[in-house]
Every structure is written in structure tokens, then in C-alpha cells.
Structure 1
């Protein structure tokens, strides 16, 4: 049997990934979702709430998102195994927790830098430039 060239298969996969994104990222996402499904109900509920938040304010890049969600699954699997209470994981302010969590990833650094740039621009526009050094020199 002549197997022929794999070129049509590779080309099809390239076109498919242009439309849907990298297939490896989708595989990682499905694995993450399977891990979350295995968590005890209260941990799963917390992860799903955090996941919804991150879908709006987290990374848009597939590879960064996959890494972040895998780390999230690691955190909650370990917390469930140790019996760590949900409130102890998140602290009193869940938004503060998620903002600190996101800062560990490229998008978090980007968001922080853009927030600082935005705040600085508004300060300058209001005549309240508080920078320690003059960068225009």
C-alpha cells in the first residue's frame, strides 16, 4: 500500500490551526478541564469561578493561558489534597488573589505595565506628573 506524501495532511493541519488555533493548546485545555472535573465540588466551584474571571481579564494567548490554567489546576489539586480551606487559598479579597496570580505570567506583567502607563498619562494630563526623573531629557 502506497502511503504517499504526508504533505496534504500537514497542509490541512496548518489551515485548521490558522482557524482554530494550535491543536496542542486545545489538548492542554481538555486535560486541564478533566483535572478540574476531578476536584471536590467546592474546589471545582472556586476554580470555575476563577476561570470565568480569567476568561475576561486573563491572557489571550493560548500557550500563556494553558500554562496559567495548568498551574491553577496544580494549586487546587494540592490544596484539595492538603485540605486547605478555600478562603485560605484566596484570602479575604479574591480579586487581589487573582491579580497577584496573573502577575506571574507574561500577560500580567503586560497589564501592570499598561496600567502604570495609563495612570502616568492621566497624571501628566492633569498636571500632576509625579515621576522621579524626567525621561524627556
Structure 2
């Protein structure tokens, strides 16, 4: 990985964080809890960014439709996350 890859990765991450900050507060809180959970037990390919970006896309659509975040994912954040990664190898022991 060269310096350009590192710089590009940082730009992408900052853009991702800006999108998360633009979410409504309830969506942002749930996203942060999902992110913590996924960083602990998530799939081994989590760091390619597709999963987290997909969650933000999903949340942006839900917020635009005026839905409550819990209408989208249910009341158990961990179960929702487990469903997202059910077929992926994880760091879980």
C-alpha cells in the first residue's frame, strides 16, 4: 500500500464520517452502536468499506422517507448486524 492509497483511504473515510454526521440524531446513534459492534465481531472484510457505506445508504433512504430508525432495523441492533454478516467469516471467537 503506497502513500497515495493511504491518502485516498483517509479521504474516503472522512467523506463517510461526514455522511454519518449528516444523519438525524437517532440514526447517528444507532449507526455508531452498529459500528462499535461490527468492529468487535464483524466480518474480516469490514475494512473494505462496503458494509458501512451500505448501512449509511440504507439509513439515508430511511431518513428521507421519514421513517424512524427502529422501523428499519428493529429494536435489537446486534441481531440486525448479525443478519448483515451471517454468511461472512468474522473475528468472533
TM-score by length of 1: 0.56
Separation (CA, whole Å) in 2 of partners of 1:26 and 1:100:
28
Once superposed, which parts of structure 1, at least 4 consecutive aligned residues long, lie more than 6 Å away? Answer: none
Q: How many residues align?
A: 92
Higher RCO structure, 1 or 2 (CA under 8 Å, sep 6+): 2
Change (3 A) 1:68 1:39: same
TM-score by length of 2: 0.78
- In the alignment, structure 1 segments of 5+ residues that lack a partner are 1-12, 119-137
Asked whether the equivalents of residues 23 and 60 of structure 2 are also in contact (C-alpha less than 8 Å), the reply is yes
| C-alpha displacement of 1:60 | 4.4
The aligned residue for residue 80 of structure 1 is 63
Per-residue CA deviation, residues 58-106 of structure 1 (Å, 9 max, x unaligned), is 234432xx11111011011111111111221221322211111123xxx
Q: Kindly name which structure, 1 or 2, has the bigger radius of gyration based on alpha carbons.
A: 1
User: Is 1:98 matched with 2:81?
Assistant: yes
The aligned residue for residue 44 of structure 1 is 28
- In the alignment, structure 2 segments of 5+ residues that lack a partner are none
